[in-house]
Chain A
Amino acid sequence: MPLDILLQQILNGLVQGSVYALVALGYTMVYGILGLINFAHGEVVMVGAMVALSVSQLLLAAGLPPLLVLLLSLLAAVAVCMLLGYGIERIAYRPLRNAPRLAPLITAIGVSIVLQNLAMIFWGREYHAFPQMLPSSPHILAGAVINEVQITIVLVALAVMTGLLLLVHRTRLGRAMRAVAENPSAAALMGVDINSVISITFMLGSALAAVAGIMVSANYGIAHYYMGSILGLKAFTAAVLGGIGNLRGAMLGGLLLGLIESLGAGYIGDLSGGFFGSNYQDVFAFFVLIAVLVFRPSGLLGERVAERA
């Protein structure tokens, strides 16, 4: 087992895992507060990437420097996604807040299909080349290769996650969010404006989704209306793995899933003497998920069920 290959697989896993973690945070924040799985979240990631694509194409054509374009398209994508997150909650979830739990789940799936089809009409069916705004010259690190885009992904993901933890645990808004998660009616009695806290939660999650969307597109150099659905599913898995509803759990789950996938796909064939191959990549990831859930039903860092009920 050559060391440089192992190191490369760990780097691959970290990059992939950082993206999963960012998207997983969106699922987990909404679940923590509403007990709702927002299946449209993957589509918000896609919209973020597509908006950034359109804006950056426009600005690059106008001759602005690439780094400035990246910043502006990031801002535009974050703004649009926050608006979208607010809209989704206002239109599809708020009217159903006191309905049986199945109803908002169905509207979540509906919103996801609507967004995907609207994006298909607006941006077309074809794959778009995502402009390269960061240099991507390879750096050799003890035999493993990593480029600026990937380094940026890991660093930005870490920074955003730290910022979010500070926000939730150190600010007034964070306290309000935790209060609503704990008990919405009690929080309302204490003067917390539940509706605005929930709206802000959706907007924050969507902003993270926009950042993740840009990262994915910049890393692969591709944007497509369908890109959100698989990513959303993987991130949801990561959130469950880490313990859905728990912020640190989403981060841990995301990074872990990235590493499991990359090490699993890379070594399962050699370790099993060719009996299993990389076609078992997903099987391996879900097997770990099942194993974790059997022993810790609420996920790795999940809160105890009694606390929620």
Chain B
Amino acid sequence: MPHNQLFLPLAVLCAATLVACGKSEIPPATPTAASELVVKIGASAPLTGPQAHIGKDNENGTRMAIEDANAKGVTIGGKKVRFELLSEDDQTDPKTATIVAQKLVDAKVNGVIGHLNSGTTIPASRIYSDNNIPQISPSATAVSYTAQGFKTAFRVMANDGQQGKVLGEYASKNLAAKKIAVIDDRTAYGQGLADEFAKAAQAGGAQIVAHEYTTDKAMDFTAVLTSIKGKQPDLVFFGGMDPQGVPLVKQLKALGLNAKFMMGDGGYTPKLIELAGTAAEGVYASLPGVPLAQMPGGKDFSQRYEAKFKQPIQLYAPYCYDAVNVMIAAMQQAGSAEPAKYLPVLAKISYDGVTAKISFDEKGDLKGGAVTLYQVQQGKWQALQTMGGNAPAAPH
């Protein structure tokens, strides 16, 4: 059977790929000593697919916090603790997110950092809530995430209600845009943010002349942009992430559409400038929180991150780092890593993080979350102004 010889190399190839792309779990370095308590932290973000670069950034931030804690040596209730990271790929897909959530629950994690997108965070949050496992999302900004009444759901970032309001007011008042076109990617995040933006912009006196749609996997936007061009807007707002933002702004410029372009936090990445090149010039984007350089530990964090992972921070890594640390702090204060014991402490905590002073309101939202508006000027993101929250004075 000469045919069978061909299967072996293929099988080896498949196996190698699966091993290489499997979940990245820190292998237990030493056999667990009897006195040592192992605390499992679950994390989930898209590690494959169009948003894999942002998902990996989240994983890096989480991993860094856990390795820092292990290096420092943390004790909880008098016991020495070793933290273990269980990182899972949710593929930006709501269905996969629920499977991943169940997997983390079955692995008996003590808490979860994630997910990245609102569309995955919301369906997964029910599973964590049912199993009473605290969940801190570093980056899910949709209002509805914490509005479900789950006691286990927290986030360390201002939500889209706050963000959309700031963006909409800035567009209609500061930029004096009269006619605005809105595009969203039909995800929980993009749609939610676009709707909040449109509400605030209309309240500011602007008219929404078009509301068009795309998906979080699309690359060609010429059809909707051409249709928008016919309505001659002053500003185009896109609720979505940078993989769509880049071709969108390039095609907008190529079609000769003479309008300002604005995105939410999904657009505020170094990649957007690198990939869109000159088309990125003048693009507006926002990010909940204050600029990295003004975060309490921002400079030090970004230097250590770049030294460790040999790449710049993409987006949410500092928030992931804080999410882990606030969870650990709650465990320490409660003297237990048991979810039932540290959850009430987490709800009332006050913690000085890298990104901000973190404490949660009764819904699990970050108290006094600030939002900063940025613009690409000469190939760099420049902070324009920080609004809301206990923000420091507006930068330059």
Contact = CB atoms under 8 A, between A and B. Distances in A.
Interface string A121-152: 10011111100000010101000010100000
Interface string A222-241: 10101100100000000000
A267 interface: yes
8 contacts: A12-B222, A95-B4, A117-B20, A126-B271, A220-B220, A224-B50, A230-B218, A269-B227
A117 B18 CA distance: 8
Interface string A282-295: 10000000000000
Contact of B227 (A15, A113, A267): A267
Contact of A92 (B10, B49, B226, B246): B10
A281 B49 CA distance: 22
Interface residues of B, number: 49
Contacts, number: 132
B213 A266 contact: no
Interface in B240-277: 243, 246-247, 250, 254-256, 271, 274-277
A114 interface: yes
Given A117-B20, A126-B271, A147 B254 contact: yes
Interface of B: 3-4, 6-7, 9-10, 13-14, 17, 20-21, 47-50, 52-53, 55-56, 186, 210-215, 217-220, 222-224, 226-227, 229-230, 243, 246-247, 250, 254-256, 271, 274-277
Contacts of A54: none
B217 A265 contact: no
Nearest to A150: B254
Contacts of B277: 129, 221
B255 A121 contact: no
A278 interface: yes
A114 B14 contact: yes
A16 interface: yes
Nearest to B311: A126
A125 B21 CA distance: 12
B60 to A, nearest CB: 11
A121 B212 contact: no
Contacts of A9: 223, 226-227
B223 A265 contact: yes
Nearest to A115: B17
5 residue pairs, one from A and one from B, having the closest CB atoms:
A279-B213, A125-B52, A265-B223, A12-B222, A262-B223
A94 B222 CA distance: 41
B9 A91 contact: yes
A120 interface: yes
A118 interface: yes
